A = this chain, B = another copy of it.
Amino acid sequence: MTLVNRSLITIDDLSYGEIEALFKLADEMAGAMDEQHGLCRGKIMASLFFEPSTRTRLSFETAMHRLGGNVITAADVGATSLAKGESIADMAKVVGSYVDMIVIRHPWEGAAKVVADYSGVPVINAGDGGHQHPTQTLLDLYTIKKEKKTLKGLKIGLWGDLKYGRTIHSLIFALAKFGANILFYPTPGLEVPEHILEKLTLEYGGELEKHKSLDPAAKEKLFPLDAIYLTPSSPHQLAMMPDVNIQVELKTGIDALYVTRPQKERFTTAEKGKELREKYPVVDKKLLKSKEFRRTLVMHPLPRVDELARELDADPRSMYFKQAARGVPVRMALIALLLGAKDVAIPQEKAPPITYPVYRRDYGPRCPNPRCVSVQETEVKYVRPEFKVVNRRPLTLRCIYCEHGFEPEYVASSDWHEGKTATKKYHSAASHWARKIRTENLIVFRSNKDAESLGFKPSRYVKVRHRRKGTPK
């Protein structure tokens, strides 16, 4: 198994063993930063940033230069070829024909996957809208692992805007993969999106418990502990569960507190209004005085604004500047591996990765996420909707681009032998008829209108239900 010529779009693209091997190489590189500049001599990376960013872009470009490679940069490309109405696929094909590797940041969720699909070279996702930012996750994990030696069984708190912080979304799955427990302390109203939590429990096992209340005293200075994810990989006292136990366990200490900035630029108008009215706690020395934070790594993806007090900068628990600095060797290791400049031994995984049946039709529903690359005006012409069928009960499809999921209301079957397409009847997705349809025969509809516009007629049971609900036939 090797990483050569592969892309990193979501953190799932790397197995546990691959990440461990990458970290070992990052250690090596961190120990001799000035001695790597022969590794990628003659190689060229395109650094394409369709959203403003300095930090991440400069980190990637530094990494490539430390490896002796060259960089061509398009920073804040919004105003250029995109303005001419070009598709991402065309751009990817052209730039891919110039260079050896592409690093891309883009506001549309799933855009990096499209680039990887069309460019013909390894692609690294440097942030695609609110979706993922996997190299940030790698350096976060790397930092925790370096400080705590392992991730297994740790208690990691996530703090603040858990809705729009894409670094959070990647991190959640990575923590689960490495067997950590996760404590969610969201800003009220900015909780982790449902589809993330669903994927978490579905694919990583473990249990997710929602907590409405910790002790009221804590509430004054802390965001409330909203939920807790208990890893299945290490049997753990937390798993005993009742609220009391959790609180006892928390007293033994949180291993890391991952603070995030409110991503105001992605807020809805309602969220902006709320933000103006409420006053949120700042993570500062006082907050970190309580016993459970004694050995807590204070982490932040940066840039911070006011959510993290400057007085912590000199505190030995503060990791945020170390995180940023470690981004360079981690990205060097990644680039070197994808370009084949280095090879590492990757242990065979015990558990093969989860695979799902694929749903792909020339007609039918598009991804419901308005920020998904697959529904943008310039992309809709060639990006075929494609979903993973991640659940049958309830029937749940997950977009392969942005990973947003949805539950279709109606289904039909393409299986002629069962005669259902012949008569072109559609069924409620929750009906027992629906459950009998084999996944490869499945046709889904988001509404009865959609089904009927494609020439399908309601089954008898659907009709009855419609009549009951007063829906006109």
Contact = CB atoms under 8 A, between A and B. Distances in A.
Contact of A62 (B99, B303, B304): B99
Nearest to A43: B34
B41 A37 contact: yes
A93 interface: yes
Interface residues of A, number: 56
Interface in A290-349: 302-306, 310, 321, 324-325, 328
A125 B2 CA distance: 44
B305 A94 contact: no
A94 B381 contact: no
A68 B43 CA distance: 10
Contacts of A77: 54
Given A54-B95, A61-B72, A73-B73, 9 more contacts: A54-B74, A55-B81, A58-B95, A62-B99, A75-B75, A86-B303, A90-B302, A90-B303, A98-B325
Interface in A78-102: 79-81, 83-86, 90-91, 93-95, 97-99
B328 A84 contact: no
B305 A84 contact: yes
B94 A62 contact: no
Interface string A253-275: 00000000100010000000000
Contact of A58 (B46, B53, B261): B46
A201 interface: no
Contacts of A76: 79-80
Given A62-B44, A72-B65, A303-B84, A55 B94 contact: yes
Contacts of A58: 46, 72, 74, 95, 98-99
A86 B52 contact: no
A57 B396 CA distance: 44
Interface in A27-51: 34, 37, 41-42, 44, 46, 48
